[in-house]
Chains A and B, each alone.
Chain A
Amino acid sequence: MLWTDGFGMFGRGLDPWSEFQRIENEMNRVLSRFVAPSTGDFPAVNIWTDGEETLVTTEIPGIDAGAIDISVAGKTLILKGAREPEQLDEGNSYHRRERWYGQFTKAIELPFTINAEKVGARFANGILTITLPRSEAEKPKKITIKSA
C-alpha cells in the first residue's frame, strides 16, 4: 500500500508527530552548542555584565570556601582550587565514579582592567560569584566643552 510506504519514511510507524519531536530535539541540541560554548577549561564560567561591573559565576561544589584562590592582575582573573577525592574506608569500593577531583587553574581575560581593590567574592551552595568592577582610570570620562 502506498500509504504505509509514505509513512514508512518517518521511521516510527504511523506517528508523524514523533518525527517533529525528533526534529525539535535535534534543533535544540544543535543550537545549544552556540548558546553555551565551552572552552574546555575547568571550571565552566558564565560572565554577566552591565558595562560598569562584571559578574563571573562558576560551579565548584564541595570545595571549602577557604581553599579557593582568586587573584586579579590587570585584565586577568585567575581561579585556583582543588577538591580531594573521597576517602574510602577499608572494604569499600566505587560502583560509579563520575565526580571530578584534583586541582584546577583557570585564567579569564576580560576586556577591561579590573579594579583589584573592589573585587568581591561570594561562595554559596557550591556556586562562586565574583564581582569585578572596572578600574576607575578606564571608565569613560565625560568631557565638557568650554565656550570661548
Chain B
Amino acid sequence: MADKSKEMQKKEIEQTDLVERTRATKIYNPDVDIIEGKDRIIVIADMPGVNEKSVEVTLEDNVLTIYGRVDWDVPERMKLTHAEYGIGDYQRIFTISGEINREKIQANVKDGVLRLVMPKNNTPKMKKIAVKAG
C-alpha cells in the first residue's frame, strides 16, 4: 500500500452542487471503479458507513446519482483525540450513455461497498437505412 498511501485521504467535495442541502454534514466523493463489459457496466463505490437503507441511486435522463447517508453517532462521553479521516455523507454524479437498460439495473450494498450492475440495451439505437436506387 505504501506507493498509494498518499492518495488514501477521503476527498471532500469542494464545489457543492446547485441543490441546497438540509443536512449539516460534509459530503465526500466515494472512490469508484467502473468496469465495462460487453453486455453490462458495473459501478463499484466504497461508501463505508452506508447500508442498503441509507443509499439512494437515481437515474434521471442520463445522469446517475449515487448518494449515501452516514448516520454515525458520536460515542457517548468520548472525545475525539486523534483524527485522520472525516465523517460525512457520500455523493457522486455520473453521466452515462443512453445504452443502459433502465429496467434491469441492480444495486446492492455489502460491508460499505455499493455495487451497481447496469445491463446494456441489446437493441442498437443506430439504424442503417437502406438506400434504394431509382
Contacts and interface: CB of A to CB of B under 8 A. Distances in A.
A44 B35 contact: no
A32 B81 CA distance: 15
Interface string B32-69: 11111110001010111111000000000000000000
A72 B1 CA distance: 22
Given A47-B81, A100-B8, A126 B33 contact: no
A32 B84 CA distance: 11
A88 interface: yes
A42 B8 contact: yes
Contacts of A61: 46-48, 111-113
Given A40-B6, A88-B35, A92-B37, A59 B1 contact: no
Interface in A12-55: 25, 29, 32, 35-50, 55
A62 B111 contact: yes
B32 A96 contact: yes
Interface in A64-123: 64-65, 86, 88-89, 91-100, 102-104, 123
A29 B77 CA distance: 28
Contact of A126 (B4, B12, B79, B112): B112
Contact of A99 (B10, B44, B81, B83): B44
B84 to A, nearest CB: 4
Contacts of A86: 33, 35, 44
Interface of B: 1, 4-6, 8-10, 12, 14, 31-38, 42, 44, 46-51, 72, 74-75, 77-87, 109-113
30 contacts: A32-B12, A36-B83, A37-B84, A40-B8, A42-B5, A42-B8, A44-B8, A45-B84, A45-B85, A46-B82, A46-B87, A47-B83, A48-B75, A48-B79, A50-B78, A55-B75, A55-B78, A59-B49, A61-B47, A61-B111, A61-B113, A62-B46, A93-B36, A96-B34, A97-B33, A100-B1, A100-B4, A123-B111, A127-B49, A127-B72
